[in-house]
Amino acid sequence: MRPLKHFLVWAITLSILGCVTGPSLKEQSAKLPALDAGKARIFFYRTIVIGAAYQPDVLLNGEKVGTAAPRGVFFRDVAPGKYTVTTTMTSQVVILDMAAGERKYVRLGYSFGFNIYPELVDAATGEAESSELSYVGG
């Protein structure tokens, strides 16, 4: 029984350490840069802390744009066009068709088997879920 107790203490500690802390997206909103004319904004966020030790890279058209930090949110401004979103932990891909002035939200979900994957959510859901998360963007 003792090894199980040590494992549980280790797992809880890792989960706590893996959580992002800091000002929320809502608290930082006044300091965020305005969206440039002719650009679109993609928000990436992870609400869940399960699997906190796993923080894969988030890829936009195959290039790293951030990390899937538990309870963290960041965004990237992009030119209008088609984009693919995935993580280094999954083969699942979300395809976005971005128009100028548009904002889209990609939730970084978790499924058992240590799979952190992207999923497109509607703007109202994305805004509500991400507003209280820690802003981890540049």
Instruction: Kindly list the distances between the CA atom of residue 88 and the CA atoms of 37, 62, 65, 132, in Å, as whole numbers in the listed order.
Output: 31, 10, 12, 25
Contact between 87 and 77 under an 8 Å Cβ cutoff? The reply is no
- Please tell me the predicted confidence (pLDDT) of residue 138: 56
Q: pLDDT tens per residue, the chain (138 residues)? A: 565 554 444 444 444 444 456 677 777 777 788 899 999 999 999 998 888 888 999 999 999 999 999 999 999 999 999 999 999 999 999 999 999 999 999 999 998 877 899 999 999 999 999 999 999 975
pLDDT value for 31: 76
- The SS3 assignment for 5 reads helix
pLDDT score, position 8: 45
pLDDT in the model for residue 114 = 77
Q: Across the beta sheet with 103-111, what order do the strands follow?
A: 115-121, 103-111, 40-46, 72-78, 134-135
124 phi/psi in degrees, rounded to 5: -65, -45
- pTM of the entire predicted model: 0.83
Map out the domains of the chain as residue ranges: 2-135
Report yes or no: 73 and 43 within 8 Å, Cβ to Cβ: yes
